[in-house]
Amino acid sequence: MKAGFVGFWRNAYVSLASIFVLMVALFVIGATMFINQLLTVSLDTLQSKVDINVYFVPNAPDEEIEEVRTAVAALPDVLVVEYTTREEALQQYRERRQGDEISLQALEELDENPLGGNLSIQAKETSQYENIARFLEEQKAAAEPQVPVIDVINYETNRDSIDTLTGVINATEKASFTVMIILLVASILITFNTIRLAIYTSREEIAIMRLVGASNMFIRGPFMLQGIMYGFLAGLLALLVFYPLLIWLGPRTEVFFELNLFTYYVQNFGSIFGVLVGVGVALGLISSTLAVARYLRT
């Protein structure tokens, strides 16, 4: 322990360089985490705006509508089912047509409400809408021609939008995963080579220790401790750099992505601290162990 702390302070400039490079690597990892969270929220928001609707005939019995609603809600692919009554559908129609006097006057001429109730269905994944639509078509076919209940299922109308969104989500997830892996590999390689360079300055000291009979663990121990110190301090510095940056970015990301990154940072500080400091310590420890191993083999 003493040798590790002495070596850390004795080679202060080399230590600072190692910490800085490791901090940059951890900053990239942290930034990848935040970007991935933004993408997740954005994709969830897009998915929440996509649904399929089932429109019932105006005279559909309430018990038949309830049976369809219950059956759809029980499907494993369904996330949310919202039922709009005939009266609510009429009120929504009036609100949407407030500026259209002709449509409102035509509506007033009718003796009864021409609209039926409807279901708004959201799936857990956009790729699951087709299965839900197929189930609804089967329900519609089973009820006809005896007691028609379902009038229209608008899946085919929204199909192109749903398929496009599904493609965007899949491509985004694959791209973000690929970029994250590339950045992680680059960070590990840069960190390893930097700490290896720091240990290179102590190669003669390692050789002398081997000549006087020091064990491999006695030689490796101080450098392992230094690697842990590099990672720990680099993690703390990365967290400190994120703090003012996210204060500035938070309101802007809330406007565009409906997620305040600073609020997310504060609310999840424990897990973010654990990831950045934990990865930093692991990178520093593994890199220093591998770097010293080279001189122990010679």
Q: Which pLDDT belongs to residue 1? A: 78
Q: Which pLDDT belongs to residue 298? A: 56
Residue-wise pLDDT for 233-288, tens only, equals 999 999 999 999 999 988 888 888 778 999 999 999 999 999 999 988 988 888 88
φ, ψ for residue 51, nearest 5 deg: -155, 175
Burial label, 25 (beta-carbon count in 10 A; 0-12, 13-18, 19+):
buried
Per-residue pLDDT at 116 exceeds 90? no
Domains of the chain, each with CATH number or no CATH: 2-46+166-297 (no CATH), 51-157 (3.30.70)
Q: Of the candidates 135, 123, 133, which has an alpha carbon nearest to the alpha carbon of residue 155?
A: 133
Q: What are the strands of the beta sheet with 118-123, ordered from one edge?
A: 78-84, 118-123, 52-56, 150-153
pTM of the model: 0.67
Residue-wise pLDDT for 62-73, tens only, equals 888 888 888 889
Residues in the chain: 298
DSSP track, 140-205: HHHHTTTS--EEEETHHHHHHHHHHHHHHHHHHHHHHHHHHHHHHHHHHHHHHHHHHHHHHTTHHH
Provide the 10 A C-beta neighbour count for residue 71: 14
Scan for tokens 């994120």, then name that residue: 242
Q: What is the mean pLDDT of residues 91-112?
A: 76
Residue-wise pLDDT for 166-190, tens only, equals 777 778 778 877 877 787 777 677 7
